[in-house]
Structure 1
Amino acid sequence: MTSTLTALLFLGEFLHTGETEFGKILSKPIIWVKPNFMIPKGMPVLIWCQGTPEAIEYQLHLEGHLYAQQSPKQLERRNTVMFRIPKMTLLTAGQYRCFYRIKELWSKPSDPLDLVVTGMYDTPTLSVHPGNKVISGKNVTFSCRLDTATNKFFLLKEGRSSHPQHRYGNIQVEFPIGPVTTAHRGTYRCFGSYNNHAWSFPSKPVKLLVTETNTISFSPYFTSLSSAEPWDTYLLATEAEFQQAPAFWDHTAHNILQIGLAFLVLMALMCLLVDYWLCRKRIQEQANRASPQECRRRFRTQRTPGQMTKRCAGHS
């Protein structure tokens, strides 16, 4: 009885230890890509896979088939490896997963990583209706058109490109959005595609600006933005300032020009007055200096001293 109990306890401890190690080995690795999951045709891309420090080998699978494998090279980073794709093409676009191995056991697969090759077809055009400046609570519709017939369109917002919207269509599709909030503000692009991993060139960007409804009438730029992110608040305030700036600066420039012209006229008048005053002063001083000299000259030429004395006395 005692030996049986001991054997059962030993078996339970062994199974518990095995489950712990087995669970650790089967934990899935983390996979990510740089610089982006959308890669222009012919450009390189880096795929990273992170497992555990005990891993001795990593494998990268594309659409369920082995694409590449390698072992960690740096002791300080044995839990991470990098797979490099030299050129992105139709053959290298698709869904990737990675695995790592400890001894003879392989981990669970990582979450799927979908890589898209862009620049395969013509460039679509993107527009937004009723316009790219709307009030919060309104509805807008993005329209994406590609003259080259396709079967699927994608709409992406910069900063959230890992979660694109998609619609099926041949030439043109519409993406209704609304009621919009300040969270919908941003820059949008659209793509056309024949499958999920081969897209067209990106459309030209379309920027959507959403303002709050409680905007003060005499100053549209003072808007309630308590729910917006600080950077979004800065972008909205800056854009509103630039929208109001042309009229403001035209009025200000006109006033400054008038003040400047009045100042120049005043300075010119002051210069004329000063010049006139200095001229009068010089003439008066010359006249004062000329009187005694004239008296002395006449004194020398006059025959009658008494007459000269009288005239000089008269001048004095």
Structure 2
Amino acid sequence: MGGSTRTPTLTALLCLGLCWGLWDEAQMGTLPKPSIWADPSHIVTKGSRVTIWCQVSLQADGYYLYKEKVSESLETLETSWDSSNKAGFSIKSMSSHNVGRYRCAYQSGESRSQLSDDLTLVMTGQHEAPSLSANPGPVVALGGNVSLSCSSLWPRGSFHLLKEPGANVPQHLEWTFHRERGQGFLQVGPMNTSHAGTYRCYVSPESYPYLWSQPSDPLHLQVTGIYEKPSLSTQPGASVSWGENVTLQCCSELWFDTFHLSKEGSLTPPQVLRLQDTAKPHQVNFTLSPVTSDFEGTYRCYSSHSNNPYLLSQPSDPLDLLVSGSNSQDYTVENLIRLGISALILMVLGVLLFQARHRQSRPQYAAGTSTRKREDGQ
């Protein structure tokens, strides 16, 4: 915000019950409406600073900021004049009192402008974060479909889905209910390159629509089928003995600097390696060590460019990795565990049995002694 402070020309008006009446009166102006936006965003983290900007295409003598149904005066806002025909109203520390709908207007000479469009200021970090997942998974073929699910403990409210970066207007998910949990679904598809990216979701309770939760963990949605497929091979072979090492080699005829290895049915994210050498062949080695039965399955690899990691190639042909001797090894480990548990149980039972017998013998000995004393007394 450049320029000097000119508080008298920048007015933040308090709108209570007469708010809509004030807005309607301002709309009677003949000058074109200004534009309004928030910097850095209209979605503000609790405690952060945000500036509401009002800009016009001509010279203005004064600016006005209106807020719908506020509970306290807006005079606490910092106001500043900018030489490029815009004025800023700054909130030092975002709180629940600052959320809501804003509009601005300006004055030039004796004429008042129309009101700007609405700016909805929301605050995040007020509630516990929901969870975000993709079904059947976050890696989707070009032209395919995926369902994004946002889940929260709040039984009623609204879900807000944001794509990062550049999604200024949140998408709202359709509400569904699952017992006591709220869950929203959004069907995305047919998939194209614009759908790829990082997503987060928020939830806001029904009675406080402008107070959003903390963001969910990021969901990275990747689109495959953009480039030609790489090849996937294994060294020393596709059948590996339990406990040995195996290398999966992903190779591409075209130059790519990033390669991804995924296992079908696995919930863990794909392994990612960056290419270290630009010379041919363009390939990376994924090492699995030591091999156990958990590594057995079907693998595929993809290639991509690091400057756009969400757009992947077609998948390689599947590679089936077999782990020989895995069953016997697994059974041996399981049997050792069972034997150990059985031995521990027997030891505990032995100790308990010994203690029980010891307790029973002590009263009998005392009774015998007492009897002998009475006999001796006689």
TM-score scaled by structure 1? 0.59
Cα distance, 1:238 vs. partner?
3.1
The one-character-per-residue Cα deviations of 1:276-316 (angstroms, maximum 9, x if unpaired) are: xxxxxxxxxxxxxxxxxxxxxxxxxxxxxxxxxxxxxxxxx
- Distance, in Å, in 1 between the alignment partners of 2:108 and 2:137 is 57
The root-mean-square deviation of aligned C-alpha atoms, in Å, is 3.4
Cα distance, 1:100 vs. partner?
0.5
Identity over the aligned pairs, expressed in percent? Answer: 34
Q: Which residue of 1 aligns with 2:258?
A: 238
Amino acid at match of 2:225: E
- Among residues 108, 111, 120, which one is paired with 1:114 in the alignment? 120
Range with bigger deviation, 210-219 or 53-62: 210-219
- Among residues 48, 61, 65, which one is paired with 2:66 in the alignment? 61
Does the Cα contact within 8 Å between 2:60 and 2:106 map onto a contact in 1?
Answer: yes
Cα distance, 1:103 vs. partner?
1.8
Cα distance, 1:153 vs. partner?
0.6
SS of residue matched to 1:183: helix
- Distance, in Å, in 2 between the alignment partners of 1:70 and 1:123 is 31
Amino acid at match of 1:115: L
Does the Cα contact within 8 Å between 1:146 and 1:192 map onto a contact in 2?
Answer: yes
Cα distance, 1:90 vs. partner?
2.2
2:159 aligned with 1:134: no
The one-character-per-residue Cα deviations of 1:205-238 (angstroms, maximum 9, x if unpaired) are: 01011012663352788699xxxxxxxxx9x963
- Among residues 187, 194, 203, which one is paired with 1:183 in the alignment? 194
2:107 aligned with 1:94: no
Does the Cα contact within 8 Å between 1:215 and 1:221 map onto a contact in 2?
Answer: no
- Among residues 213, 221, 228, which one is paired with 1:208 in the alignment? 221
Cα distance, 1:152 vs. partner?
1.0
Which structure carries more strand by proportion? 2
The one-character-per-residue Cα deviations of 1:5-48 (angstroms, maximum 9, x if unpaired) are: xxxxxxxxxxxxxxxxxx99611112121111111122221111
Matched pairs, number: 217
2:129 aligned with 1:123: yes
Does the Cα contact within 8 Å between 1:99 and 1:108 map onto a contact in 2?
Answer: yes
- The runs of 5 or more residues in structure 1 that have no matched partner are 1-22, 225-233, 252-316
Does the Cα contact within 8 Å between 1:216 and 1:223 map onto a contact in 2?
Answer: no
Q: Which residue of 1 aligns with 2:284?
A: 248
- Among residues 23, 36, 39, which one is paired with 1:34 in the alignment? 39
Which structure carries more helix by proportion? 1
Does the Cα contact within 8 Å between 1:58 and 1:70 map onto a contact in 2?
Answer: no
Cα distance, 1:87 vs. partner?
2.3
SS of residue matched to 2:187: strand
TM-score scaled by structure 2? 0.50
SS of residue matched to 1:249: strand
Amino acid at match of 2:32: S
SS of residue matched to 1:91: helix
Does the Cα contact within 8 Å between 1:152 and 1:169 map onto a contact in 2?
Answer: no
Q: Which residue of 2 aligns with 1:143?
A: 149
- Distance, in Å, in 1 between the alignment partners of 2:96 and 2:217 is 23
Query: Structure 2 matches for 1:40-59, cutoff 5 A?
Result: 40-59=45-64
Does the Cα contact within 8 Å between 2:79 and 2:89 map onto a contact in 1?
Answer: no
Does the Cα contact within 8 Å between 2:257 and 2:274 map onto a contact in 1?
Answer: no
